[in-house]
Amino acid sequence: MFEKLEGIELRFVEIDSLLSREGLSSTDFTRLSKERAGYADIVSAYRDYKKLKLDRDAARLMLEEEADAELRALAREELGSLEEQITRAEKQLQLLTLPKDPNDDRNVMLEVRAGTGGEEAALFAADLLRMYTRYAERSGWRVELMSSTESATGGFKEAIVLIKGEKVYQRFKFEAGVHRVQRVPATEAQGRIHTSACTVAVLPEADELDEIALDSRDLEITVCRSSGAGGQHVNTTDSAVRVVHKPSGLVVECQDERSQIKNREKALKVLRSRLLEKAQREQQEAISADRKNQVGSGDRSERIRTYNFPQSRVTDHRINLTLYKLSEVMEGDLGEILDGLATFHQTELLKQELERVQGAS
């Protein structure tokens, strides 16, 4: 681990030198700045760790050479504190040196779709979108609606938002999957609890450095009049845009802007992110052929989380975490759940790394 840390620190210093050179292109500056940002936390932690070790060596030397009993007692107390700090620092460095997801620093295309449950599922899709929007606002991130299709009762059959901010994908990537809701629908006269489901997809936003080239010959772009539930948001011009990427079969529709040009730009941005996610997924599947699809079929039984309104309970089934504060969660208080998922993921990575080291020895 420490050889790896030395190498990272050397690369960090090298990047600083490269960034200070004159004549650096904007593309190279952006690329190097992103690489530097990826190393900044680990280099800072490693340098703090090395300083703690130097302080410990000084305390040991004082304990061995100091004749004054009171100073020796102080050195012994300081040495104990430093040993504890070094142990914590080593554990932190273990986490920081785990394999890094290259998408963690990216913005996110978050897609919510109604699954099993009809109109109730569409209403819950709107609730989920609001929950994620509230969390993003709390985090100081920006949310932009890219595309949406409303249901007859004001929910969403599907909605796509772009969330921009620091480490958005790192926080949201475990939200992908089927979300199940158990509650009494507003239209239920008998007061019976219904179970519905929505699917959430979390796609890293493609940026200019990804070089997701779109050949115009591969695109089939059509325009039509926008439509909304019950005649809502109907434009008087043909501004809705539908883009078909013929090689992959991916289809993106966007009608939320009144400008055809803006709808086209948004549709192409969503398409690039889907193509990036598709390419990365296929690469991962080549390594692990049994990797499951991100959101499954949308069936109620394929769930990662359950939101039970009568009990005010939310349960994440992957980490067996149950919280009885559903109203707060639906208002965007997702921190405890997201922290639990991140900790579980880090623990699994540590186990894999330990097994790898043991297997190699």
Per-domain residue ranges for the chain? Answer: 2-96, 108-346
Q: Is 291 helix (H, G, I), strand (E, B) or coil?
A: coil
Tokens of 184: 């009494």
- Which CATH topology does 108-346 take? Alpha-Beta Plaits (3.30.70)
In 272-329, where do the E strands start and end? 305-308, 313-316, 321-323
In 140-289, where do the E strands start and end? 142-150, 156-164, 177-183, 194-204, 219-224, 240-245, 250-254
Which residues of the chain have a pLDDT value below 50?
A: 209, 229-235, 287-301
Decide if 340 contacts 319 (C-beta within 8 A): yes
In this structure, how many other beta carbons lie within 10 angstroms of the beta carbon of residue 96? 18
Nearest Cα to Cα of residue 345 among 164, 104, 166: 104
Predicted confidence at residue 30, as pLDDT, reads 86
Predicted confidence at residue 121, as pLDDT, reads 93
Predicted confidence at residue 318, as pLDDT, reads 92
**Model pTM score:** 0.66
Angle (CA) 160 163 169, round 5°: 105
DSSP conformational letter for 99: P
Decide if 192 contacts 270 (C-beta within 8 A): no
Residues 6+ away with beta carbon under 8 Å from 36: 12, 15, 16, 19
Predicted confidence at residue 208, as pLDDT, reads 55
